[in-house]
Amino acid sequence: MMTYEEASKKLADFGQSHVLRWYEELDDAQKQGLLEQIGSTDFSVLHYSADKDSALERGVITPLGAMETPEIERRQADFREAGIRAIREGKTAAVLLAGGMGTRLGSEDPKCMYNIGLTRPVYIMQRLIENLTDVVKEAGAVIPLFIMTSEKNHEKTVKFMEEMNYFGYDRSKVWFFMQDMAPASDYDGHVYMEAKDRIATSPNGNGGWFLSMRKAGLVDKLHELGVEWLDIFAVDNVLQRICDPCFVGATILSGCSVGAKVVRKAFREERVGTICLEDGKPSIVEYYEMTPELLAANDEKGDPAYNFGVIMNYLFRESELERIVDEKLPMHVVEKKIPYIDADGNPVRPESPNGYKYEQLVLDMVHEMQSCLPYEVVREKEFAPIKNPTGVDSVESARELCRMNGIEL
């Protein structure tokens, strides 16, 4: 544990001495809690506030073609066989990244607990487990499932899974781990306080998941189980196919370090991350980074050259993850609404953004890989993300897509 003097020195080094403003008013337990939090907080991320785009400079972008559905259909039998074999041999595991706050959806509970049912309860987590269970049945082998939470939603998520009896999944094959937190700051990089004894923090993005798995001792578990491939997926896509045998087989047979499920863009400017090459290595550019030239470019068939968007379902080769786990990923500095206490100690809930959160993203891990297989899936069958209550990518739109796919709600 840090002493007051050590904490005070650490804060001074990072220009954050205001964190101890109320120290003398705190009781012993609060004092101890705050010193512990100061000890474990990485304040070095805050310097990105001064130059928020410096960490995100781009190299030379060129197209990366996807394996498209006609080819996948033609080679389906081979892909499926290779995928099922890998699953039966225990070489494939699933990793659910569910540490986010889901602020846009606006529910107090973790997003996985959200009920999208109309005539019966259908929780988001239930949809994911049902989809994974389809593959378990087909392969006749239980797929190990790792679930990442954060300190903000861990207890509720675990309790929910217990109460729901893991939706029938074999609980001896489910492991939870928590991601790290990052401080949240004002526009000048000074951390906000969420209470007199607590620095405001938020989950540090979905990019730190493998490091967090290692910290939790779960990379040893992967070795013990003989896992060679990890299918990473987001909590919010309720049509998500997880450890899809065809995708697993196609990625393994391609010899690539990672497979990325992609959908054909609905139109050139669509707000999705585009798969491409950057300085000759696989990469994803965000929609707001697309230049007019990139948007207008065509391939030899006359189709848009940057025509495929990622849906946050990646199959990573485990040994490659171990190779890159200590590399620094770019830092994304994101403007958000951060609740805090003002200089007089009064709580403030801002109506509009008032500062930055600091996040690393899983999509940046793709750029660290040697090679990537973009694998096309049909959007209406596999992509129903829930980000908002209504409108685009919402509970409403996801319900409609479930209905189209014959899922009773």
User: Which positions touch ligand UTP (CB under 6 A)?
Assistant: 97-104, 148, 179, 203-206, 234-236, 387
Quote the least distance from Cβ 189 to ligand UTP, whole Å: 20
To ligand UTP, the closest distance from the beta carbon of 11 in angstroms equals 24
Q: Do 409 and 119 touch, CB atoms closer than 8 A? A: yes
Segment holding 1, helix H or strand E: none
Contact (CB, 8 A) for 171 and 32: no
**Closest CB to ligand UTP among 83 and 110?**
110
Is the Cβ of residue 317 or residue 387 nearer to ligand UTP in the bound state? 387
Cβ within 8 Å of residue 7, ≥6 positions away: 20, 34, 35, 38, 39
Shortest Cβ distance from residue 362 to ligand UTP (Å)?
Answer: 7
Residue placing its CB nearer to ligand UTP in the complex, 84 or 148: 148
Residue 168 CB: number of other CB atoms within 10 A?
11
* Euclidean distance between CA atoms 387 and 146, whole angstroms: 22
Q: Which is nearer to ligand UTP, 161 or 235 (CB)?
A: 235
Nearer to ligand UTP, 204 or 394 (CB): 204
Smaller CB distance to ligand UTP: residue 205 or 355? 205
User: Which positions ≥6 away from 51 have C-beta within 8 Å?
Assistant: none
Q: Please, what is the minimum distance in Å from the beta carbon of residue 272 to ligand UTP? A: 12
Q: How far is the CB of 17 from ligand UTP (least distance, A)?
A: 28
Q: How many CA atoms lie within 13 A of 6 on its CB side?
A: 11
Q: Which residue, 98 or 219, is less far from ligand UTP as judged by CB? A: 98
Q: DSSP characters for 147-202?
A: EEE-TTTHHHHHHHHHHTGGGG--GGGEEEEE--EEE-B-TTSPBPEEETTEE-EE
Contact 228, 317 (CB under 8 A): yes
Q: Which residue is nearest to ligand UTP (CB)?
A: 100
Q: Within a 10 A sphere around the Cβ of 80, how many other Cβ atoms? A: 18
Q: How far apart are the first and last CA of the chain?
A: 51
Smallest gap from Cβ 149 to ligand UTP, in A, equals: 8
